[in-house]
Amino acid sequence: MTSTPFEYAPAPESRSIVDIAPSYGLFIDGEFVDGTGEAFKSVNPATEEVLSEVASGSEADVDRAVRAARRAFEKTWGPMRPADRGKYLFRIARLLQERAREFAVLESLDNGKPIRESRDVDVPLAAAHFFYYAGWADKLEHVGLGTQPRPLGVAGQVIPWNFPLLMLAWKVAPALAAGNTVVLKPAETTPLSALLFAEICRQADLPAGVVNIVTGAGDTGRAVVEHPDVDKVAFTGSTDVGRSIARAVAGTRKKLTLELGGKAANIVCDDAPIDQAVEGIVQGIFFNQGHVCCAGSRLLVQESIHDEVIASLQRRIGTLRVGDPLDKNTDIGAINSAEQLARIRELSDIGEAEGAQRWQPACELPAKGFWYPPTVFTDVSPAHRIARDEIFGPVLSVLTFRTPDEAVAKANNTTYGLSAGIWSEKGSRILKIADQLRAGVVWANTFNKFDPTSPFGGYKQSGYGREGGRHGLAAYLKGADQ
């Protein structure tokens, strides 16, 4: 048998399309202004190179931003004809498409995700969200909240680092379509695409104050959430922070939606299309380095096909290409931060110590930057921490089941409930299991598929409220009785 290596030569996307300024201010009332907090650095996690210095918003900065948003809500955006609000959103959507490559490169630089994903998933989906909600702007009477639903006012939004631009789109597009104005706090480690989005707002001539972007860390986020003139708080991130936000908002008039962690079960039945299921397992846990709140981090595979599936999975994982996020052939990029890498390592070590079997493919990791190889744990028991805690990294825990009832019981045995997957060629089985799963999204014979028309959100500690679709608008509107 002959064996010829087919090496793929480096195919890097050029970063020259992106102009990163050495420092950025806050985007308040349509202008970039200096922050009064201490500036922080945003780092490329693949190289540890400092990309830019970014202003940190203090309480006073947040207050300025909220006042600008309030003014815009009362003077321009609120009174504007809904169809005209739609026009602005369409314009933003088109600009996102026009500058898609720029956004994709910037996102990969700042976040560490492979360009294939930022180019094919993050940026097109972000544009799709704006297109979708732009169409809703003058049709709000059909949302289901009566004939005259009204916007809430100023929305304070805090978003995570795993999909910086996409999470911005999920938050900003429905809020604006419903007639609200926003103050958005991007994640500390990934502020750059939000700042480029600020530039898009200016390019689209969006009235000043409609979108305000205040960068910073936890304190800045707290100031946004706790500001008394914010009418609505929307947060995506960890369950711990979500819990403290819920406490801070309790007893106020603010409406709240939370999209938090997950520990999704990906259930593979013995009658599954095996090759596609293996792809789905890979897509479920290694997409975006596993930095996905709805990641299929618990593989529940029917015991009768366990060995076959694991062998296929390991062979497939062996073909994943880990490395330079800007290389067009990279499948797995860098871990977003040293802090996150430490957490992944810690939980993996605990997994091994508790008796699970760790498997990693032979793969060379770059010397600089934050990296973790794709990892599979077999012999995982539901009592192990790697079966319960969200790892938020490229680490899969494999459990088995014998009957559909057992699969459902194990899948639901989690404090989370964001998503789940089922693989079977039998339609009736899929529907029956899906009915019993307590998870906001259930994918059948696919995983990690997103669409602006589809609501997304969790059960239990995965949060409450829905984003996307008509349901996503309801979170930013009130009916006549409210």
Partner 1 sequence: MTHVLDPDALSHDARALVAPLPPYDDVTRSDAAFRAFLHGLPGVDQVGAEARAAQLGTRSIKTTSKAWAIDTAISMVDLTTLEGADTPGKVRSLAAKAKQPDPTDPTTPKVAAVCVYGDLAGVAREALQGTGIHVAAVATAFPSGRASKAVKLADVRDAVDNGADEIDMVIDRGAFLAGRYLDVYDEIVAVKEACGDAHLKVILETGELKTLDNVRRASWIAMLAGGDFIKTSTGKINPAATLPVCLVMLEAVRDFRAATGRQIGMKPAGGIRTTKDAIKHLVMINETVGPDWLDPDWFRFGASSLLNDLLLQRQKLRTGHYSGPDYVTVD
Catalytic residues: 259, 293
2 contributes a contact to partner 1 by CB under 8 A: yes
Please select the residue that binds partner 1; options are 319, 362, 364, 383, rule is CB under 8 A: 319
428 contributes a contact to partner 1 by CB under 8 A: no
Choice between 53 and 279, CB closer to partner 1: 279
Supply the minimum distance, in Å, between the C-beta of residue 105 and partner 1: 15
Distances (CA, A) of 58 to 30, 192, 220, 338, 366: 18, 18, 6, 25, 37
Which letter does DSSP use for residue 336 in this model?
Answer: S
366 contributes a contact to partner 1 by CB under 8 A: no
User: Mapping DSSP to helix (H, G, I), strand (E, B) and coil, where does residue 27 land?
Assistant: strand
**Dist. CA 128–CA 94, nearest whole Å:** 10
Supply the minimum distance, in Å, between the C-beta of residue 445 and partner 1: 5
222 contributes a contact to partner 1 by CB under 8 A: no
Supply the minimum distance, in Å, between the C-beta of residue 476 and partner 1: 33
**Are the C-beta atoms of 345 and 171 separated by less than 8 Å?**
no
3 contributes a contact to partner 1 by CB under 8 A: yes
**Are the C-beta atoms of 63 and 156 separated by less than 8 Å?**
no
Task: Report how many residues bind partner 1 under the rule CB under 8 A.
Answer: 27
Supply the minimum distance, in Å, between the C-beta of residue 74 and partner 1: 47
Choice between 328 and 345, CB closer to partner 1: 328
Choice between 48 and 120, CB closer to partner 1: 120
**Dist. CA 40–CA 100, nearest whole Å:** 26
Q: Which tokens in the block code for residue 17?
A: 């399309």
Please select the residue that binds partner 1; options are 31, 275, 307, 451, rule is CB under 8 A: 275
**Dist. CA 378–CA 455, nearest whole Å:** 33
243 contributes a contact to partner 1 by CB under 8 A: no
Supply the minimum distance, in Å, between the C-beta of residue 107 and partner 1: 17
**Residue among 40, 41, 23 at smallest CA distance from 32:** 23
425 contributes a contact to partner 1 by CB under 8 A: yes
User: Mapping DSSP to helix (H, G, I), strand (E, B) and coil, where does residue 50 land?
Assistant: strand
314 contributes a contact to partner 1 by CB under 8 A: no
Please select the residue that binds partner 1; options are 49, 98, 240, 271, rule is CB under 8 A: 271
**Residue among 146, 157, 63 at smallest CA distance from 481:** 146
Task: Please classify residue 475 by burial: count the beta carbons closer than 10 Å to its beta carbon, then call 0-12 exposed, 13-18 middle and 19+ buried.
Answer: buried
Choice between 75 and 426, CB closer to partner 1: 426
Q: Which tokens in the block code for residue 392?
A: 């938020």
Question: What is the separation, in whole angstroms, between the first and last Cα of the chain?
Answer: 74
**Dist. CA 341–CA 352, nearest whole Å:** 17
120 contributes a contact to partner 1 by CB under 8 A: yes
Stretch that binds partner 1, among 63-71, 192-200, 275-283, 470-478 (CB under 8 A): 275-283
The H-assigned helical ranges of 112-260 are 115-117, 123-136, 164-177, 192-203, 218-226, 239-249
Choice between 9 and 250, CB closer to partner 1: 9
113 contributes a contact to partner 1 by CB under 8 A: no
Choice between 328 and 385, CB closer to partner 1: 328
How many Cα atoms sit within 13 Å of 453 on the Cβ side? 1
Choice between 29 and 117, CB closer to partner 1: 117
Supply the minimum distance, in Å, between the C-beta of residue 11 and partner 1: 4
Choice between 14 and 147, CB closer to partner 1: 14
135 contributes a contact to partner 1 by CB under 8 A: no
Please select the residue that binds partner 1; options are 138, 279, 354, 379, rule is CB under 8 A: 279
Please select the residue that binds partner 1; options are 1, 250, 362, 367, rule is CB under 8 A: 1
Which letter does DSSP use for residue 74 in this model?
Answer: I
Give the torsion through C-alpha atoms of 42, 46, 47, 53, to 10 deg.
-10
481 contributes a contact to partner 1 by CB under 8 A: no
**Are the C-beta atoms of 216 and 139 separated by less than 8 Å?**
no
276 contributes a contact to partner 1 by CB under 8 A: yes
Which letter does DSSP use for residue 399 in this model?
Answer: E
Stretch that binds partner 1, among 25-33, 170-178, 272-280, 434-442 (CB under 8 A): 272-280
Site string for partner 1, 321-360 (x = CB under 8 A): -------xx-------------------------------
β-partners of residue 172 are: none
Stretch that binds partner 1, among 6-14, 83-91, 213-221, 455-463 (CB under 8 A): 6-14
**Dist. CA 67–CA 71, nearest whole Å:** 6
**Are the C-beta atoms of 332 and 286 separated by less than 8 Å?**
yes
Please select the residue that binds partner 1; options are 6, 247, 251, 362, rule is CB under 8 A: 6
**Residue among 163, 395, 399 at smallest CA distance from 290:** 395
Q: Which residues bind partner 1 (CB under 8 A)?
A: 1-11, 116, 120, 271-276, 279-280, 319, 328-329, 425, 445-446
